[in-house]
Amino acid sequence: MRFARTGLGMIAFALLIAACGGSSGNTASNSPEASPSPSKEATISSVDACKLVTATDATSAVGMAMTNMAASSGVSIPGACIYASADGSTSVFVLAQTYPDVNTAQSVSPDQIAAAMNGQYGVTNAKSVAGIGDKAVEYTASSSGGTGVAIFVFKSNVVLMIILSPSTDGSKVEQLARTALGNLH
């Protein structure tokens, strides 16, 4: 099953997002000024990845029926939602994580995650995507199991990552990101 090879590898890529957040990206510690205080922007207390991108949304984006893997198998990953086609050849992975404030969310570095995964998954071509969230960065990743497109989207104190595999079409993952933001409350 292709999902087992490509999808699980991309999931490992996704789970690194949680490890790359926090204050380690703060470069203000070398300056005599105090660290900036957390932003006063409205924060979102919780998110449900499966409500941000539904099976219907995933089906519409990829053009084939997609099933929520946790609903069908009973196995779930906190903060994540995994959709797959019946034959396992196509998958959509959504990871949504809230942080205590906007500054902490903004300290997550998709570039660091991509650099860490470059050797194993061939992540090399980051591009900024305008008009999606506060900022968005898209990558194409390749492994022996195939190719996938990943997008990291930052909105307020939420960081989303959506992976579509196999694909090299960024417009599909961008459509899913816009849908997720539209469902973010």
Residue 113 maps to which CATH number?
3.40.1000.70
Q: Considering the domain boundaries, does residue 152 fall inside one?
A: yes
Q: Considering the domain boundaries, does residue 102 fall inside one?
A: yes
Q: Considering the domain boundaries, does residue 26 fall inside one?
A: no
**Is residue 134 predicted with pLDDT exceeding 90?**
yes
The DSSP 8-state label assigned to residue 34 in this structure reads P
pLDDT value for 118: 58
Task: Write out the residue range of the structural domain in which residue 99 sits.
Answer: 2-19+41-182
**Is residue 90 predicted with pLDDT exceeding 70?**
yes
Q: What sign has the CA pseudo-torsion 37, 42, 47, 51?
A: negative
Q: How far is CA 55 from the centre of its chain?
A: 16
pLDDT value for 115: 64
Alpha-carbon gap, residue 129 to 149, rounded angstroms: 13
Query: Percent of the chain, pLDDT > 70?
Result: 68
Alpha-carbon gap, residue 25 to 30, rounded angstroms: 12
Q: Considering the domain boundaries, does residue 36 fall inside one?
A: no
Which carries the bigger pLDDT value, residue 120 or residue 169? 169
pLDDT value for 29: 32
Q: Please check whether residue 72 is in contact with residue 83, taking contact to mean a CB–CB distance below 8 angstroms.
A: no
**Is residue 30 predicted with pLDDT exceeding 50?**
no
Q: What sign has the CA pseudo-torsion 161, 56, 86, 79?
A: positive
Q: Indicate the average pLDDT of the chain.
A: 77
Residue 26 in tokens: 């703060």
Q: Considering the domain boundaries, does residue 35 fall inside one?
A: no
What total number of domains does the chain contain?
Answer: 1
Query: Do the strands 135-143 and 67-68 form a parallel or antiparallel pair, or are they unpaired?
Result: unpaired
Q: Considering the domain boundaries, does residue 9 fall inside one?
A: yes
Residues forming a β-bridge with 50:
none
Which carries the bigger pLDDT value, residue 77 or residue 27? 77
Q: Considering the domain boundaries, does residue 34 fall inside one?
A: no
Q: Considering the domain boundaries, does residue 151 fall inside one?
A: yes
